[in-house]
Structure 1
């Protein structure tokens, strides 16, 4: 065999392996640019085969002129080249058709892939894409497609998009994570009763003149003098509402419980503020602080501290014949007191390793953010006031509100009614720490 036929043998090998391999890759390829590259390689090989076919035909023609016929070897090679040319032409045609289909089909696919890449998810390559992008395949074509090439395909199942990622369902917690809720404490300081009326009336003594003394036999006994007056405490309403769609209420069972709890908490929150700080105007309750007696130190203390001020307030209540049973402070104020130390850095009123409840001078300390910072309230709370509950917290749901019916909305309303009677203002003492030290 002459040397000039050696390229034809290599191209014949390409014809046997390359076109079918290329077409197989095309079936799974998602990138038309890669198909164009393969098509370009096939066109180059086809051009070379066509040139050799032309040369072989010229050689056969020359042999016919010289000897009267072409040799069997030339005829066989000519047939083989023509067959090779036909196969490469078919491969070129199939690649061209496939490229046209891919260019049309991959428009949407490229958009989806771009969207996935934009979301930060891993891009999954198809088998054809991995084959066409293989450096081993490119070198195989560049070297004339001689022999065979092995291309590794990574088809491991992973959680990436395009593999098993879409099969993984997220776990959904049924609990609704709400905002923190304040612990209500002021109501627990005061006795509570019930009423079926809208107004509480009561009589209180405002003057006591005690003339009781020893008398001799037969002498006239002294007369005492008491003065009373009537007072009242009206029942007030605390309420609020929220709009909820019927679909949300029906479809999310947990939502109804959550809304109910939030509305009740809102009532308790407002109630605590009213009991402690209500100013008695309009529809407000008259709270403990506005009704309390102003702090007036029974005597001065040199270098007065917060602890001294609280002790003097307790004394003021005791001198008024109302021995105090508790103190109400803002958490920051109580923390300052707990952090007080002596000259050797030992805590005065607290043991960091202990679990004792807050207390000072033998009385319980109640911490609440409803009390303003630097302000205090001490007193005999169980003697000072009474809560009268007219209606406990009630939560109602109705569609009969404005245009709820036509909008398929529900109005959820919560309300409670109560009265607060501060019967003994002298049993409460309130003030502020002013500029006293810790």
Structure 2
């Protein structure tokens, strides 16, 4: 007796509305956004898995019937055909949905790239793909419009990798040079001319001779000797403070390793620059130092040479210091004035004293020349600097960093302060001679 296999699902129940409904939805997916397409694709995949399982079960049933009865029932055959048809439709629907999603993703990517290119180029030229270059080619437009697209055409596409944005430009990383390029700094020169000492007080007092009446003379035995007269006056050199500060954020100080060193150097340079100006030309009012030029003796030449030049003027100033018993040990000039002196020529255009090939250093009349922009161009200062004045350092340059300044703590800011204290005494004004050039 032959055995007939009865399936657990009827064909009508198995092929009810769901697969047909899904396939119909795929046909009408135009205008659906990507999220809905992804959900529909998920439903199709789920239904396709279920139908695949049923195909597998039906195949097993058919195999078992053939084994037991020698043939497969018409109902099983019909069921298998319907399942395979449904499976084919679902596969086709899945392929369509996948292709549609890929098109949407490609379109979105192109839009994002165009927007990024516009932001990067400021609306400038954008690197085009090969397809864009072909589609926008004038040769192609002429081929279609004029010849009706008959025959063949050769279109050359330039799609080399370049450093432009949209090609390899975004991959280029600039090199970082850690050097911080600063503004030029003046070389300090005046302090090195003077004697330097220290003080532990806020003022340096000293006595300066103002009168010397020397009546020393040879005398006979048993006669009254001559009387001389001397007078001194008390002088005071108060200690002055030079200081400044700068605010810096804590983040900047922590994140830029060399920033603290740069700030330290700049603050120190600022103090040195003011110190040099004060030592040379401070007027002594308020908190200013009384400097070398205001305390120096006015230029009064011993004689007037014919056709006096700058070189003559400086030689007479050296003579004035020597006549005051203070042989000069240096000359201070503005760099421009010193250059004019060096370029002085005779009637045959030969340099008067400078040897441009063998220069041993800036010197004039055997004395070193100090060129500094702290002097005015038409001024000069000469004399015996070592004995004329002395600097007293009370506190060397100090650079401190603090967060305890006003609202620094709550703003995460730092205050960096630089400060120094010093006094200067011009003890022998006659040892310094200052004046102006005549031309």
User: Given the two structures, how large is their TM-score scaled by the length of structure 2?
Assistant: 0.72
- Residues 1:373 and 1:135: Cα distance change in structure 2 (over 3 Å): closer
1:401-412 aligned within 5 A:
401-412=405-416
Indicate the residue corresponding to 1:218 in structure 2: 222
Give the Å deviation of 1:187: 0.2
Query: Which of the numbers 102, 120, 136 marks the counterpart of 1:133?
Result: 136
1:177 aligns with 2:181: yes
Query: In structure 1, what is the equivalent of residue 429 of structure 2?
Result: 425
CA contact (8 A) 1:337 1:349 kept: no
1:274 counterpart SS class: helix
Q: Determine the structure 1 residue equivalent to 2:319.
A: 315
Aligned twin of 1:38: none
Q: Secondary structure at the match of 1:253?
A: coil
Query: Helix, strand or coil for the counterpart of 2:348?
Result: coil
Residue in 2 aligned with 1:247?
A: 251
Q: 1:152/1:318 Cα in 2 relative to 1: closer, same or farther (>3 Å)?
A: same
- State the alpha-carbon separation in 2 of the partners of residues 380 and 237 from structure 1: 27
The match for 1:40 is none
Structure 2: segments with no counterpart, 5+ residues: 1-98
After TM superposition, give the deviation of residue 300 of structure 1 in Å.
Answer: 1.7
Q: Does 1:232 align with 2:253?
A: no
Root-mean-square deviation (Å): 2.6
- Measured at CA, do residues 354 and 186 of structure 1 come closer, stay the same or move farther in structure 2, by a change above 3 Å? same
Distance change in 2, residues 1:113/1:163 (3 Å): closer
Aligned length: 339
Offset at residue 230 of structure 1 (A) = 1.3
Find the counterpart in structure 1 of residue 85 from structure 2.
none
Unmatched 5+ stretches in structure 1: 1-93
State the shift of 1:128 in Å. 2.2
Q: Give, in whole Å, the separation in 1 of the partners of 2:152 and 2:123.
A: 40
| Equivalent in 138, 159, 162 of residue 163 of structure 2 | 159
8 Å Cα contact 1:317/1:324 also seen in 2: yes
Alpha-carbon shift at residue 219 of structure 1 (Å): 2.4
- Shift in Å at residue 274 of structure 1? 0.2
Tell me the residue number matched to 1:207. Answer: 211
CA drift at 1:152: 5.1
Distance between the aligned counterparts of 1:226 and 1:327, measured in 2? 32
TM alignment of 1:12-91, pairs within 5 A: none
- Of 395, 400, 403, the residue aligned with 2:404 is 400
1:415 is aligned, of 391, 416, 419, to: 419
Farther off after superposition, 109-118 or 199-208: 109-118
Distance 1:217 1:224 in 2: 19
| Cα distance in structure 1, aligned partners of 2:366 and 2:304 | 22
Does the CA-based 8 Å contact 2:206-2:234 persist in structure 1? Answer: yes
Residue from 270, 275, 295 that aligns with 2:274: 270
3-state secondary structure, aligned to 2:126: coil
Which residues in structure 2 correspond to 1:215-364 (within 5 Å)? 215-364=219-368
